[in-house]
Amino acid sequence: MKNIEHKGFRKNEIILDGIRYLLGNGYFGYRGTLSEYTKAEMVALNLNGIYDQMGELWRESINAFNPLYTIVRVRDTELNPTKIKPVSHVQGIRIEDGVFYRETVFSIKDHQIKISSERFADQKQRQLLYERYVIKSDSNLKVDLYTGIDLDVYNLSGKHLEILDQVDEADFFFVKARTKQLGLPVVVGETTTRNFDAKGEVLNQNNKLLRHYSIQMEAESEYIIEKFTGVCHTRFDSYEHLDMLVTKAQKLGYLRKFTENKAFWREKWDISGIEVIGDDDAELGINYSIYQLISSRPYSDRVSIPARGLSGQVYKGAVFWDTEMFMLPFFLNTDLESARHIVMYRIIGLKGAKSKAEAYGFKGAFYAWESQEDGYEACSDYNITDALTGEPVRTYFREKQIHINGAIVNALGRYVERSGDIDILFLGGLEMAIECSKFYLDYLTYNRDTKLYEALQVIGPDEYHELVDNNAYTNYLIDFVFDKTIELIELAREENPGKIAQFIKDKDYQAEIQKIRQMRQKVYLPGPDDTNVIEQFSGYFELEDITLADLKKRIKHPNEYLGGKDGVATPTKIIKQADVVTLLALLPEKFTKVVKKANFNYYEPKTEHGSSLSASMHALLACDIGKPNYAYEHFMSSALIDLNGKAKQFAGGIYIGGTHLAACGGAYLALIYGFCGLKHHNYVLSADTRLTSKIKEVRFKILNKNRLAAIKVTGTTANITWENGK
């Protein structure tokens, strides 16, 4: 597997490189920054599942203190490429074993000094993070090395940690803090093992807790520090626990940890890796996407995968429909434990979803558009700022993107189908599906003329057009939820009739289930018109028909938000992202080829692809209708989105950069289900060949009911071989 790296120092890419070379393990993400960087370069140790709000600012995930801070000085000069021009610089990530590396050579007077380092996140003891840092000079030289914890962290919306104590114990530093809003413990720890004898002098300066080593270097000798660091939060014994973990890791030693890490990734890649023969860029892009998905996998039922992974606080570190619709399939195919966490996170979030429904005057469960811990809704009414004026823009994402419930029930259904884990239905799964249906029952409006139920004033995936009636995607998903809920009840009944009867009685669901049954086939499902096109929402066809190029001429600011009340796209047919196309791509069995073709051709030129979720849906549908060469471009733009850094960085005045996990998951969908035509028929698999001329062959594996299937698709054949064993 190829490394992802660049040669030469590029100051203007620091923020994007922080995303590109991200390390993570689901507990935290550590941005791909250099050890000498600070908050100015957006260093972040971003945590999953713990949030804080400062005053009226947005509630967001926490960035912990940085335990990998290290600088070297030669007299008064800091060896830092942002301060002195390096002779050479290489920085990259080895996705094969999840290792970040850098090598920088500086020249000072007659001395050439090389700094090289590598780091990785522990994938088993997920609180831990290690770094090996090496300095070497071509001549004898005295240097000062400072290493420790940087307490001055980067935040998007205010400071979240109150420092309680700074512990300096033998060679260990611990910083104990608590979150400001909820008082949850967050502890960061650090220690080093060194191959030199200098005595460390403790310094507490500029918000940094450091040890200073004065080293008299001999020419061509390596001076090495191995850092054993970590972060632990929420547990009442976070400090003791972290102390134990870091101490143990240090005793085992860097090499042992490094070997364990290699073994973890080898095993992961064995199941998850994809070979794309004949197209190196596609192979790199898809495996990089998979690397990001694995690095973000949830570590417990209380967390899921945020839209921007663990690359920072963008989108508040919250979980969107992206996880269920775009990312879950990868985990269903390779890692059922993580898939189960994703579903359980929503089951645990039912309480939050019920309060949200109640707050809006509805029955049942209305899931958060931007979900934080326990399903807490983090989306605010003013979710965007105007790029020109800086004024907050009223958006209705929070209260009108009701399709989120559909994604969640869809995920539950797929998880149960693929895992056979019927127990989850009795552990809250059924209740979640019924409560989601209950919300829809209450939300829908009866149309006396058509005698059908309609979803009025909603927002579909295309967020530019707000408060629209009968968004096709939303209506079909509502219908799907009613069907799936009944199907899951029947499945649970087959498994344990006594238990389901008791459950329905205890929850008093009899009447509700009856209503859900009656509603099937009574939801208005916008059908294809004479030209086979499905109208995205009622009245969409009457909007101004304009080309994307002409619309762009109306834009006054490069970061201008195009949707909402005053957006330039709002009165037009230009849409932000795949909407009807998403419906056809994700529920392909419901529509004919003719309809799919007509809608693809109609909506493709009208789609701005302003969201990273869009391209993969177009790729998936394009493969389905026999346009793989067309699909290729969209597939590549999803797979390479974080490598080429071309994604939108701003929505209005709001920074939205970071890893795009939905695009990563979407690229996987496009390759496996699009180009390779994979289909699940209960526990049977079929594949097809729809490869683009650019790709000669694709090989991948699918974990299916504890059996591994190896799939090989060439330009003319599709082969599935079952492996015994796991």
CB of 651 vs ligand IFM, minimal distance in Å:
7
Please name which of 261, 325, 255 lies closest in space to residue 295, comparing C-alpha atoms: 261
Residue from 9, 27, 37, 320 binding ligand IFM (CB under 6 A): 320
Q: How many residues bind ligand IFM (CB under 6 A)?
A: 10
| Residue whose structure tokens are 């860029």 | 281
Distance in Å, CB of 197 to ligand IFM, minimum: 51
Query: Does 367 participate in binding ligand IFM (rule CB under 6 A)?
Result: no
By CB under 6 A, the residues from 491 to 520 that bind ligand IFM are: none
Minimal distance in Å, beta carbon 382 to ligand IFM? Answer: 15
Q: Which of 28, 30, 254, 321 binds ligand IFM (CB under 6 A)?
A: 321
- Give how far Cα 279 sits from Cα of 334, 560, 622, Å: 23, 36, 19
What is the CB neighbour count within 10 angstroms for residue 355?
17
Residue numbers 559-618 binding ligand IFM by CB under 6 A: 611, 613
Q: Cα(709)–Cα(711) distance, rounded to whole angstroms?
A: 6
Q: What binding mask, one character per residue, do residues 413-452 give for ligand IFM by CB under 6 A, x or -?
A: ----------------------------------------
CA distance 283 to 289: 10
Question: Looking at 48-56, 82-90, 157-165, 320-328, which segment touches ligand IFM (CB under 6 A)?
Answer: 320-328
53 in Cβ contact with 302 (< 8 Å): no
If the CB atoms of residues 85 and 394 are measured against ligand IFM, the closer one turns out to be 394
In the 3-class helix/strand/coil scheme, how is 621-644 assigned residue by residue? HHHHCCCHHHHHHHHHHHHCHHHH
Nearer to ligand IFM, 261 or 611 (CB): 611
DSSP-derived 3-state class of residue 646:
coil
Residue 463 CB, nearest distance to ligand IFM (Å)?
Answer: 6
CB closer to ligand IFM out of 486 and 647? 647
Q: CA-to-CA distance for 182 and 317, rounded, in angstroms?
A: 17
Which tokens belong to 467? 């408060």
Tokens of 71: 């600088």
Please report how close the Cβ of residue 560 comes to ligand IFM at its closest, in angstroms. 16
DSSP code per residue over 141-183: EEEEEEEEEE-----SSS--EEEEEEEEETTEEEEEEEETTT-
Query: Measured between alpha carbons, how far is 161 from 165 in angstroms, rounded to an integer?
Result: 12
Q: Whole-number minimum distance, CB 511 to ligand IFM, in Å? A: 34
> Segment contacting ligand IFM (CB under 6 A): 12-20, 210-218, 313-321, 443-451?
313-321
DSSP 8-state code for residue 266: H
CB 540, min distance to ligand IFM, A: 18
Q: Which is nearer to ligand IFM, 230 or 306 (CB)?
A: 306
d(CA 176, CA 242): 11
Is residue 21 within the footprint of ligand IFM (CB under 6 A)? no
- Mind telling me the catalytic residues? 463
Nearer to ligand IFM by C-beta: 322 or 535? 322
User: Residue 122 CA to chain centroid, in angstroms?
Assistant: 19
Edge-to-edge order in the sheet of strand 141-150: 77-78, 66-74, 141-150, 208-217, 201-205
Q: Which of 26, 32, 461, 665 binds ligand IFM (CB under 6 A)?
A: 461
Shortest Cβ 462–ligand IFM spacing (Å): 9
Burial class (CB within 10 angstroms; exposed 0-12, middle 13-18, buried 19+) of 599:
buried
Q: Measured from the CB atom, is 232 or 307 closer to ligand IFM?
A: 307
The nearest distance, CB 308 to ligand IFM, in angstroms, is: 7
The secondary element (H helix, E strand) that includes residue 62 is strand 60-64
Quick one: which of 51, 69, 315, 591 contacts ligand IFM (CB under 6 A)? Answer: 315
Asked if 464 touches ligand IFM (CB under 6 A), the answer is no
Half-sphere exposure of residue 699: CA atoms within 13 angstroms, side-chain side = 8
| For ligand IFM, the closer CB: 242 or 384 | 384
Which CB sits closer to ligand IFM, 607 or 611? 611
What's the token pair of residue 408? Answer: 């969640």
Task: Please identify, among the stretches 88-96, 196-204, 315-323, 497-505, the one whose residues bind ligand IFM according to the rule CB under 6 A.
Answer: 315-323
Contact window for ligand IFM (CB under 6 A) among 76-84, 231-239, 316-324, 482-490: 316-324
Q: Tell me how far apart the alpha carbons of residues 407 and 157 are, in angstroms, rounded to a whole number.
A: 29
Identity of the residue, 48 or 137, whose beta carbon is nearer to ligand IFM in the bound complex = 48
- CB-based contacts of 573: which residues, under 8 Å, 6+ apart? 540, 543, 544, 545, 546, 606
Region near ligand IFM per CB under 6 A, out of 108-116, 317-325, 383-391, 631-639: 317-325
Q: Which of 594, 591, 590, 619 is nearest to 604 (CA)?
A: 619
User: Scanning the structure block, which residue is given the tokens 């199907």?
Assistant: 487
Which CB atom, from 79 or from 581, has the smaller least distance to ligand IFM? 581
Q: Is residue 322 within the footprint of ligand IFM (CB under 6 A)?
A: yes
142: tokens are 């005295």
Residue range at the interface with ligand IFM (CB under 6 A); choices 60-68, 319-327, 538-546, 717-725 = 319-327
Name the segment binding ligand IFM (CB under 6 A); options: 32-40, 254-262, 314-322, 353-361: 314-322
Secondary structure (3-state) at 482 = helix
Q: Are 640 and 550 in contact (CB under 8 A)?
A: no
Which two three-digit tokens encode residue 647?
Answer: 């994604």
Give the Å distances, CA to CA, from 76 to 143, 144, 277: 10, 9, 52
Minimum CB separation of residue 321 from ligand IFM in Å reads 6
Residue 158's Cβ-count burial label (10 Å; 0-12, 13-18, 19+) is middle
Site for ligand IFM, residues 269 to 308, rule: CB under 6 A: 307
Q: Which of 127, 84, 129, 133 is nearest to 109 (CA)?
A: 84
Q: Which two tokens stand for residue 562?
A: 């195009």
The CA-based dihedral angle spanning residues 547, 549, 553, 559, taken in that order and rounded to the nearest 10 degrees: 110
Q: Which is nearer to ligand IFM, 307 or 534 (CB)?
A: 307
- Give the three-state DSSP class for 321: helix
Min. distance of Cβ 119 from ligand IFM in angstroms? Answer: 28
Enumerate residues 68-87 that contact ligand IFM by CB under 6 A. none
User: Closest CB to ligand IFM among 92 and 461?
Assistant: 461
Report d(CA 216, CA 327) in Å as an integer. Answer: 51
The nearest distance, CB 237 to ligand IFM, in angstroms, is 35
User: Which range binds ligand IFM by CB under 6 A, 47-55, 318-326, 623-631, 694-702?
Assistant: 318-326
CA 613-617-618 angle, to 5 degrees, is 115
662 is a contact residue toward ligand IFM (CB under 6 A):
yes
What part of residues 94-133 is at the interface with ligand IFM (CB under 6 A)? none
Binding region for ligand IFM (CB under 6 A): 307, 315, 320-322, 461, 463, 611, 613, 662
